[in-house]
Amino acid sequence: MYRIAAFLALVAWLTAATANADQQAAAGKFLVATDEVRGEIFARTLILLLHFDEAGAMGLVVNRPTDVTPVEVMDDPAVLADYRGTLFWGGPVEMAGLRVLLRSDSAPEGATMVVDNVHLVPFDAAMKGTPADATTLRIYIGYAGWAAGQLDYELASGSWEVRAATAELVFADDPQSIWERLKPVREYRAAVEHGGENLVAYRGR
């Protein structure tokens, strides 16, 4: 009986440890905005973290395609003449800069793997042999950034929830619908008596 109890306790501990690890912010994870996030900038956004440590964090909003093509913001439009895809809004920081995510089994020189076969690629390297559409390459203007400790505070205050990221979601055909699929389920529990009546706990989005 003792061995069974010890085994079950170990399984429970491992399960909890795995769950806690999945909920920890890290490069290659999604930040999903909760209902606590208001305003036009980050409400209903899904951010792919590219970097996270004690010095700060940065990521790209992956569910905000614009109606602008990358060619329209390039000094040399010929660089992207064959690219068929829209420009994504990556965040409010450094709006003069472009960043590229490439989905490929082999990464160009200087690329950094973010998750699965998704790589953050230097712009010049990505433009060599440019894909014809956005199924394997996406271009973002700006990025989301946090100073040291800022994202930790926002996570603790319930502004974001961490989810596992996948290449399929990053390069989804319908990026604007991803937040709806991943949005956090908010749980409300209350036992408040008012005039002899109990407020029944409920679970909702």
Domain edges within the chain: 25-204
Q: What is the pLDDT of residue 197?
A: 42
| 98 token code pair | 């472009």
pLDDT at 9: 39
Strand extents, DSSP E, 55-188: 56-61, 87-89, 93-103, 112-115, 118-121, 137-147, 160-164, 186-188
- The Cα 81–Cα 130 span in angstroms is 9
pLDDT of residue 13: 33
Q: How far apart are the first and last CA of the chain?
A: 42
Query: Mean pLDDT, to the nearest integer, of 5-20?
Result: 37
> Quick one: pLDDT band at residue 190, thresholds 50, 70, 90?
very low
Q: Render pLDDT for 17-56 as a digit per residue (tens, 0 to 9).
A: 333 445 799 999 999 999 999 889 999 999 999 999 999 9
Please state, as a whole number, how many other Cβ atoms lie within 10 Å of the Cβ of residue 149. Answer: 12
Q: What is the predicted pLDDT for the residue at 194? A: 41
Backbone angles phi, psi at 112, to 5 degrees: -120, 120
CATH class of segment(s) 25-204: alpha beta
Per-residue CA distances from 42 to 36, 45, 66, 129, 143 (Å): 10, 5, 15, 33, 12
pTM: 0.78
